[in-house]
Amino acid sequence: MQTLRRARKNSLFELVFTIVIALGVALVVQALAVKPYRIPSESMEPTLDVGQRVLVNRISHRLGADPQVGDVVVFKPPANADAGVCGDHNSGDGTPRPCAKPQPGVDSQTFIKRVVAVGGDTIAIRHGHAIRNGKASAEPFAASCGGGNGCDFPEAISVPKGYVFLMGDNRGASDDSRYWGPVPVERVIGKAVATYWPPSRVGGV
């Protein structure tokens, strides 16, 4: 009888210990490697809808991997990014251009956008599409810009080394680098790799 009780206690201890270890591993993975993120706005439609949830891989960025053109990333924008803080959208002859100067400060929010240019590239915008290094980028994921003020910035700017230029896929409804400039790579939290909610949208990003 004592042997049976001892075996039951050992089994219960092993179960509790296994659960504790599993929870600890899950917390460590979330803290260091993968983080869930909820899409807060329509700026990434049609790729990502409001309320959709994605998993963000943080470990590769922590290990030194730089964002690449086409990556969808979560990052910290400049302070007051919602207000479109760039003060200079014109070249010397008045031609509209994207915000060329990185804006100061760091916002408390996290944004999710797509990398359309990296350090050393030039970037202009025509009909809502990125013109990178003088060539139109293939962007089948981008929604029509709709002819608003942010659709055409034909004067190209240069993206500084160590920075990325970011745009939402919903080009007519996105606060992005067009209005507050390139963002330091160090402010990128990680790359969105998969969507897990709702079930109908489960898959890669």
Query: Along the 205 residues of the chain, how does pLDDT read in single tens digits?
Result: 555 555 455 555 454 444 434 343 444 444 446 789 999 999 999 999 999 999 999 887 666 678 999 999 999 999 988 877 787 787 767 788 899 888 888 999 999 999 999 999 999 999 999 999 999 999 999 999 987 778 999 999 999 999 999 999 999 999 999 999 999 999 999 999 999 999 999 998 8
| Same domain, yes or no: 60 and 14 | no
| Same domain, yes or no: 45 and 141 | yes
| Same domain, yes or no: 173 and 100 | yes
Domain interval for residue 128 = 36-204
Burial status of residue 179 (CB atoms within 10 A of its CB: 0-12, 13-18, 19 or more): buried
| Same domain, yes or no: 4 and 47 | no
Q: What is the CA radius of gyration of the chain?
A: 22
Give the active site residue among 43, 137, 144, 177. Answer: 43
| Same domain, yes or no: 82 and 5 | no
| Same domain, yes or no: 61 and 74 | yes
Task: Give, in order, the Cα–Cα distances in Å from 98 to each of 84, 167, 178.
Answer: 11, 11, 5
d(C-alpha 185, C-alpha 86), whole Å: 19
Q: What is the maximum span of the chain, computed from C-alpha positions, in angstroms?
A: 93
Residue 35 pairs in a beta bridge with 56
| Count of residues making up the chain | 205
| Same domain, yes or no: 141 and 41 | yes
Identify residue 112 by its one-letter amino acid code.
Answer: I
| Same domain, yes or no: 71 and 162 | yes
Domain count, the chain: 2
| Same domain, yes or no: 60 and 123 | yes
d(C-alpha 154, C-alpha 3), whole Å: 82
CA angle at residue 105 from 100 to 108, to 5 degrees? 120
Closest alpha carbon to 38 in 26, 24, 55: 55
Residues in contact with 28: Cβ distance below 8 Å, sequence separation at least 6, in sequence order? none
Closest alpha carbon to 167 in 120, 122, 128, 205: 128
| Active site (annotated) includes residue 43 | yes
| Same domain, yes or no: 82 and 160 | yes
DSSP line for 14-33:
HHHHHHHHHHHHHHHHHHHT
The CATH number that applies at residue 158 is 2.10.109.10
pTM: 0.82
| Same domain, yes or no: 28 and 57 | no
| Same domain, yes or no: 25 and 119 | no
